[in-house]
Amino acid sequence: MLPKPNPQSQRRAAQHPCSRSQQLKQEKIDHIMEGLKYIGRQINLKTIRNFILDEGISEADIIFLNPKNFDDVLLEYREVYREGVIMPFYLLGILITEGKHDEIPVGRVLLKKGINNSSRDNSENDNEYYNGEEIFRCGYCGNVVDFDGSELEPYERNRKIKILEKFGSEVIVHPRHGRCCREQWNK
């Protein structure tokens, strides 16, 4: 038979400031846990795509991944499509972003419904955003390229050109052997 709890000790614990912070911490964990989903043994483009389609996720929702899973998905995207990744990263119109290490376990996703109010098509300020990012140019023709010399998608290429025009000498520019001029490099 279990002993009965002492009501005085319960009241003291409820009034103790540490118990309030522990309670808030537990509420935060519970809030996060309700959005965590298991979508398969391995998180990759295919499992995320299937998750989006199966759950009927809308453009107002955001999927958060553990930083390790997020990096793996972006590397897979680069490998499969042989092109640079445009950030923020959208898959089937859904924003896929990186969460914090302590919030999302590896192998799980955190789905937040109805919190993505931004429209990626209406953002004029994206072209002016500059936060010390490095830009890579073909050393032969000067074309803006990705870090490995591959050509960028038109949107990303135009965004980087506008950054160069606006910030000029503040931008760090690295020369690369661009795939646009592959024949010229072999001469």
CA–CA dist 100, 110 (Å, integer): 11
Dist CA 132 CA 27 (whole Å): 37
CA distances from 115 to 92, 99, 105 (A): 17, 14, 21
Residue found under tokens 């990263």 = 89
- pLDDT tens-digit series, residues 59-116: 888 899 988 999 999 999 999 988 888 888 888 888 898 887 677 888 888 888 877 6
Do strands 94-98 and 62-65 pair parallel, antiparallel, or not at all (unpaired)?
parallel
Mean pLDDT of 18-44: 65
Instruction: Render pLDDT for 126-149 as a digit per residue (tens, 0 to 9).
Output: 445 555 678 888 888 888 888 888
Please state whether beta strands 94-98 and 89-91 pair in parallel, antiparallel, or not at all (unpaired). Answer: antiparallel
Cβ atoms 112, 61 nearer than 8 A: yes
